[in-house]
Amino acid sequence: MSVVAPPDDFAAALPHPARVVAMHDEAEDTRTFVLGLATPVPALDAARPGQFVMLSLLGHGEAAFTLAHLPCAGAAPGTVTLTVRRVGALTGAFFACEVGASVGVRGPFGRGFPQDGADRPTLYVAGGCGLAPLRSAIDAQLRARAAGTPVAILYGARTPGSRILRASLAGWRVQPDVALFETVEEAAPGWHGRTGVVTELVAAAVAAVGAERAALCGPPGMLRSAAAALAAAGLAPGAIHVALERYMKCGTGLCGHCYVNDRDVCSDGPVFSYGELLALPDAFGPADSAFG
Amino acid sequence: MDACVLASRAAVDRIRRALALDRRVIEPRTVEGAPVWTATNGEGALAWSTAAPLAGVKGWLVPPREPVLAWDDTGAMRPVVPCPERVAFVGLRACDLAAIAHLDAHFGSDPWYRARRAAAFLVGLDCSGACAGGFCLEVDAGPFARAPFDLNLTALPDGRVVVAWGSAAGVAALHGAGVASTPVDDGTALLLAELAAGAAASFPVRPYVARGLARMNAAPAGGAIADEEWQAVGPRCLACTGCTSLCPTCTCFTVVDEPVGAGGTRARIWDSCLLEGFQRQASGHHPAPRPGDRVRRFWYHKLSRDFAGPTGRLGCVGCGRCDVACPGTIGALGVLAALGGER
Ligand SMILES: Cc1cc2nc3c(=O)[nH]c(=O)nc-3n(C[C@H](O)[C@H](O)[C@H](O)COP(=O)(O)OP(=O)(O)OC[C@H]3O[C@@H](n4cnc5c(N)ncnc54)[C@H](O)[C@@H]3O)c2cc1C
Ligand code: SF4
Ligand code: SF4
Ligand code: FES
């Protein structure tokens, strides 16, 4: 501890400057932003599905967002794609940005989904905005898989109007060997699909593709019940991967905000295997909590 | 042992004054009846028997507000590089040093911490007996110091002082002061062992501490203690953050942007996991919605072996500051008493 940090270490902690180069609305309150980095950041081009960045808006702070599209899933190098739901101060300021606006990006941070296994039958389970973090994982597997590897996608939204990534959903629906299951909690006029919660479809989706592994993202209550349903359907806890979310202030294991038992979601996660989570009682919040 | 013997306490004062030539020497002094870390310039004699100040030295190493980034009206960003004053803390107790070992492990990768830590010279002072409310013995953090220190002092009853060194800077400071010393002979080593045993024997017997720690560390992950127990204890926390501010091993911070005109500063600010909003998410999910959940999370962090760092020690160093700070009764000993069936 006697070595003073060289000035480079401070500069390396700064956000990478970027600009908003494109954006499009996904649903009410949800928008996809494509950012262009001012200078190449090899680590961001090499980022893996499930990893995240801290988006910086000067004067408004920083918040964590999963990389929604990546070069390994077909995105252009030098870009950062985030699908963001407007919920508060920073996301509100982000939505007020126009194309050309300056932002900053730190990262990539955390441990993403496992890199191997593109040739294994896989089930993706997403609830609400949880589809955004799974998008790059799905697209990366569809690019890397051996022909004929079956993939199932199970997506549950609150209402038909809150469905995000409709272009991706439409694209996946017509891919060979992809089974797409959609459901909404509250139907609306014009909705002809299923109504109900995703958990009810887990067993059918596993059976449909003979899933050997699964990746999950969504609200904690859904994660808890869907992971349990997958285990009950015969998947090994080590083959079920869950992206957790916590309030984050640093992304680098220092600020303490994101800890779950003795793990930091930012650096030990955000993706954990269900086997790991079974040893972390706080992973999904208190079981009897009305907030879960 | 990397140590030598000084003939008198006056030799220590020579070392203090030599340190003061190129650093600010900061020592516990009694101010308005209470010990406070005070810039002394090494003047006067060391206050050997002054107790550990309630506010420790954490604020020098991890300031309550640490600016990390500044931007100007063009939106250009630059890191705020700290230029910490060179300081020497003289009289750090074993618990405080154990806490600094904890900070070193936690913030070891952080350039802001490393800059501040590198500017600090640490002189420990072994406790001859238990302080009021301290339980360092039960958590293996005292009363005699282990690393990290540059120099560490043990006062012998005959007026001599054993000084140990833990770094090249410590050796240099000892040489630079030009004090005469003799090696630690067998008799002195025996005396040191007796002093350590006597200091350990001076602690009150509190069987509930071991019982509470054992329950806290039964598998799985603190889950052996029933939820109702924590929910019963929880309302005793007023979320005043007194304990987390004073605790020498608490490290949590939040980050705030402070715009000034068209520019501004981004700063880390001390935070507390006992505040309701610490983990509340924008989605509405709250991992610890009830006071009992937050109190459990906090004490689990301090008292579970799951958080033992590279030193193998718990996140709590037994300094007892939280018991003094708590307007309720759930400082460390208060909680261990509740968990250990004492009340
Ligand atoms: C690893 C990770 C990945 C993520 N990925 C994504 C992603 O891909 N897309 C996405 O949209 N989000 C994602 N998130 C969530 C995202 O980080 C949050 O939505 C974001 O931090 C919200 O910031 P904000 O400043 O807009 O909201 P805030 O202003 O911080 O808070 C919003 C909510 O909290 C309430 N609130 C705020 N302060 C208070 C208060 N003092 N008292 C009571 N209520 C209050 C507000 O009313 C509002 O409902 C991710 C989070 C993590 C940890
Ligand atoms: S807790 Fe132990 S090391 Fe700390 S001041 Fe008290 S007796 Fe000394
Ligand atoms: S928890 Fe209390 S006794 Fe333990 S180190 Fe912190 S302030 Fe000291
Ligand atoms: S976000 Fe700060 S420790 Fe994880």
The pLDDT of residue A291 is above 70: no
Q: How far apart are CA B162 and CA B177, in angstroms?
A: 15
Using an 8 Å Cβ cutoff, are A4 and B114 in contact?
yes
For residue B285, how far is its CA from the centre of ligand 1 (angstroms)?
A: 10
Which chain B residue's Cα is nearest to A6? B111
pLDDT score of A8: 75
Asked if A219 lies within 8 A of B169 by C-beta distance, the reply is no
pLDDT at B73: 92
Question: What tokens appear for B313 in the block?
Answer: 């020690």
Collapsing DSSP to helix, strand or coil, B5 comes out as strand
Check pocket membership of A183 for ligand 1, CB cut-off 6 A.
no
Tell me the shortest Cα–Cα distance from A120 to chain B, in angstroms: 33
Q: What is the pLDDT of residues B233-278, one digit of tens each?
A: 889 989 999 999 999 999 999 999 999 999 999 999 999 998 988 9
| pLDDT of A90 over the 90 cut | yes
Which stretch of DSSP H or E encloses residue B265? strand B263-270
The string of DSSP letters for B213-253 reads: HHHHTSTTTTTTS-HHHHHHHGGG-----HHHHH-TT---E
Which chain A residue shows the shortest CA-CA distance from B106? A254
User: What pLDDT shows up at residue A279?
Assistant: 86
pLDDT at residue B342, as a whole number: 81
The confidence band for B160, taking pLDDT boundaries of 50, 70 and 90, is very high
Q: Is A247 an 8 Å CB contact of chain B? A: yes
Q: Who contacts A276 (Cβ-Cβ below 8 Å, separation ≥6)?
A: none
C-alpha separations of B319 from B35, B55, B97 in Å? 15, 11, 11
Which residue has the CA at smallest separation from atom 51 of ligand 1? Answer: A64
Give the atom of ligand 1 at the shortest distance from the alpha carbon of A85: 11
Q: Give the model confidence (pLDDT) of A2-20 as tens digits.
A: 455 666 789 889 999 999 9
What's the sign of the alpha-carbon dihedral B71, B72, B78, B80? negative
**Mean of all residue pLDDT scores within chain B:** 93
Nearest to B289 by CA among B301, B300, B278, B304: B278
Tell me the two tokens of residue B97: 């040093």
Written as one letter, the residue type at B31 is V
Place of tokens 């002092």: B153
Average pLDDT over residues A206-227: 92
Residue recorded with tokens 């760092």: B309
User: Other CB atoms closer than 10 Å to residue B226's CB: what's the count?
Assistant: 9
Mean pLDDT of all residues in A257-267: 92
Collect contacts of A204-207 with beta carbons under 8 A, ≥24 apart.
A205/A123, A205/A125, A205/A152, A205/A154, A205/A179, A205/A181, A206/A123, A206/A152, A206/A230, A206/A233, A206/A234, A206/A235, A207/A233
Please list every residue in chain A whose beta carbon sits closer than 8 Å to the beta carbon of residue B148. 1
pTM of the model: 0.92
- How far apart are the CA of B90 and the nearest CA of chain A, in angstroms? 18
Give contacts of A95 with chain B, Cβ < 8 Å.
Answer: none
pLDDT band of residue A290 (cuts 50, 70, 90) is: very low
Confidence check: pLDDT of A129 > 70:
yes
- Structure tokens that stand for A17 in this block: 């400057």
The set of residues, in sequence order, having a beta carbon less than 8 Å from that of B141 and lying 6+ positions away, is B94, B95, B98, B99, B313, B314, B317, B318, B319
Q: Strands B151-155 and B120-125: what pairing?
A: parallel
CA B85, CA B23: separation in Å to the nearest integer? 8
3-state secondary structure of A203: helix
- Ligand 4 near A253 CB (within 6 A): yes
- Cα separation, B128 vs B131, whole angstroms: 9
| One-letter identity of residue B128 | S
Q: What is B291-323 written as a DSSP string?
A: HHHHHHHHHHHHH-GGG--TT---S-----HHH
Instruction: Flag if B288 and A286 touch (Cβ within 8 Å).
Output: yes
Half-sphere exposure of B325 (CA within 13 A, CB side): 22
Q: State whether residue B80 is helix, strand or coil.
A: coil
| H/E stretch holding B38 | strand B34-39
Quick one: which of B289, B300, B294 has its CA closest to B339?
Answer: B300
Question: Is the CB–ligand 2 distance for residue B134 below 6 Å?
Answer: yes
Q: What angle do CA A207, A208, A213 make, to 5 degrees?
A: 65
pLDDT number for residue A6: 65
Q: Residues with Cβ < 8 Å from B205, sequence gap 6 or more?
A: none
Q: Which ligand is nearest to the CA of B323?
A: 3
Interchain proximity B282–A292, CB inside 8 Å: no
3-class SS at B254? strand
Those residues with Cβ within 8 angstroms of residue A234's Cβ, 6 or more apart along the chain or in another chain: A206
Q: Which residue has the tokens 């015969």?
A: A234
Cβ within 8 Å, pair B279-A257: yes
> How many CB atoms are located within 10 Å of the residue B232 CB?
12
User: In sequence order, which residues have a C-beta less than 8 Å from that of residue A3 and are 6 or more positions away?
Assistant: B114, B118
Q: Which residue, judged by its Cα, is nearest atom 8 of ligand 3?
A: B319
**pLDDT over threshold 60, residue A177:** yes
Q: Residues 6 or more apart from B34 whose CB is under 8 A from it?
A: B53, B54
Q: Is A257 on the interface with B (CB under 8 A)?
A: yes
By alpha-carbon position, which residue is closest to atom 35 of ligand 1?
A: B282
Cα angle value B229/A224/A90 (rounded, 5°): 90
Count of Cβ atoms closer than 10 Å to residue A174 Cβ: 8
A95 interfacial to chain B (CB closer than 8 Å)? no
Residues A256, B211: Cα–Cα separation, whole Å: 28
Spell out which residues of chain B touch residue A60, defining contact as CB-CB under 8 Å.
Answer: 257
B116: enclosing H helix or E strand = helix B111-118
- To the nearest whole angstrom, how far is the Cα of B299 from the nearest Cα of chain A? 11
Nearest CA in chain B to A57: B257
Residue of chain A nearest B116, judged by CA positions:
A4
Taking CB atoms and an 8 Å limit, are B286 and A291 in contact across chains? Answer: yes
- Binding site membership of B274 for ligand 3 (Cβ less than 6 Å): no
Residue B193 neighbours by CB under 8 Å, 6+ apart: none
Atom of ligand 1 nearest to the CA of B280: 34
Q: Using CA atoms, how far apart are residues B57 and B67, in angstroms rounded to an integer?
A: 19
What is the distance in A from the centroid of ligand 4 to the CA of A61?
15
Cβ contact A281–B223 (<8 Å): yes
Cβ atoms of residues B188 and B156 within 8 Å: yes
Contact B89, B122 (CB under 8 A): yes
Mutation target vs A (from B254, B285, B297, B302; most A CBs, 10 A cutoff): B285
Q: CA of B178 to nearest chain A CA: how many angstroms apart? A: 23
Note the pLDDT tens digit of each residue in B213-223.
Answer: 998 888 766 66
Complex ipTM:
0.90
What pLDDT does residue B343 have? 67
For range B75-102, the mean pLDDT? 95
Q: Where does chain A have alpha helices with state H?
A: 7-12, 42-45, 89-95, 131-144, 166-173, 202-209, 220-232, 265-268, 274-277
What is the tens place of the pLDDT at every residue in B176-234? Answer: 999 999 999 999 999 999 999 999 999 999 999 999 999 888 876 666 788 889 999 88
Average per-residue pLDDT in chain A?
91
CB pairs below 8 Å between A and B: how many? Answer: 150
Q: Any alpha helices (H) in A104-219, and if so which ranges?
A: 131-144, 166-173, 202-209
- Cβ separation A59–B75 shorter than 8 A: no
CB contact under 8 Å between B251 and A259, yes or no, is: no
Distance from residue B162's CA to the centre of ligand 3 (Å): 28
Q: pLDDT tier at A292 (50, 70, 90 boundaries)?
A: very low
Query: How far is Cα of residue B56 from the mean position of the Cα atoms in its chain?
Result: 7
Interval between CA B28 and ligand 2 midpoint (Å): 14
Residues 6+ positions from A132 with CB-CB distance below 8 Å: A66, A68, A82, A83, A164, A165
B255 contacts A250? CB cut-off 8 A: yes
Return the SS3 of A172. helix
Is any atom of ligand 2 closer than 6 Å to the C-beta of B93? yes
CA-nearest of A19, A26, A164 to A104 is: A19
Nearest to A7 among B81, B280, B300 (CB): B81
When pLDDT is averaged across residues B279-308 and rounded to a whole number, the result is: 88
